[in-house]
Amino acid sequence: MLHYTTSEAIEFIEENDVKFIRLAFCDIFGVQKNISIMPGELARAFREGISFDAAAFPGFASPDGSDLLLFPDPTTLSILPWRPSQGRVVRFYCDIRQPDGQPFPGDGRFLLRQAVRRARERDLTCKFGTECEFYLFQRDEAGYPTHIPHDRAGYCDIAPLDRAENVRRQVCLTLEEMDIQPERSHHEQGPGQNEIDFQYASPLAAADNLTTFKSVVKTVASLNGLFASFLPKPIPGQPGSGLHINISLFQGGRNIIETEKGVHSEISEQFIAGILRRAHELAAFLNPLTNSYARFGEFEAPRFVSWSHQNRSQLVRIPAAHGDFRRMELRAPDPTANPYLAFTLLIHAGLEGIADRLTLPPACNHDLFTAPADVLAQYELLPGTLHEALAHAQRSAFISSIIPEPLLSSYLAVKAREWETVSRASDCKAAEDDLYFARW
Peptide bond into 58 cis (omega under 30): no
Are 280 and 224 in the same domain? yes
Beta pairing partners, 247:
128, 328
Domain at 23, CATH number: 3.10.20.70
Collapsing DSSP to helix, strand or coil, 369 comes out as coil
Q: Looking at the domain assignment, is residue 149 inside a domain?
A: yes
- Domain end marker among 48, 67, 97: 97
| Domain total of the chain | 2
Residues 194 and 73 in one domain: no
For position 2, what pLDDT does the model report?
A: 64
Mean pLDDT of the chain: 91
Residue range of the domain that includes 43: 6-97
Contacts of 174 (CB under 8 A, 6+ apart): 81, 82, 216, 220
Residues 350 and 210 in one domain: yes
Using one digit for the tens of pLDDT, what is the confidence trace for 280-336? 999 999 999 999 999 998 888 899 999 988 777 889 988 776 666 688 899 999 999
Residue 205 has pLDDT above 90, yes or no: yes
pLDDT digit string, tens, across residues 366-390: 888 888 888 888 899 999 999 999 9
Alpha-carbon span 94 to 73, nearest angstrom? 5
Dump pLDDT digits (tens) for 336-347: 999 999 999 999
Does residue 107 belong to any structural domain of this protein? no
**Strands, DSSP E only, in 10-123?**
18-26, 32-37, 50-53, 67-72, 78-79, 88-97
Q: Are residues 422 and 362 in the same domain?
A: yes
Residue after which a domain boundary falls, among 69, 97, 125: 97
Residues in the chain: 440
Determine contact, residues 159/167, Cβ cutoff 8 Å. no
Exposure of 388 by Cβ count < 10 A (0-12 exposed, 13-18 middle, 19+ buried)? middle
pLDDT tens track for 239-266:
999 999 999 999 988 888 866 665 678 8
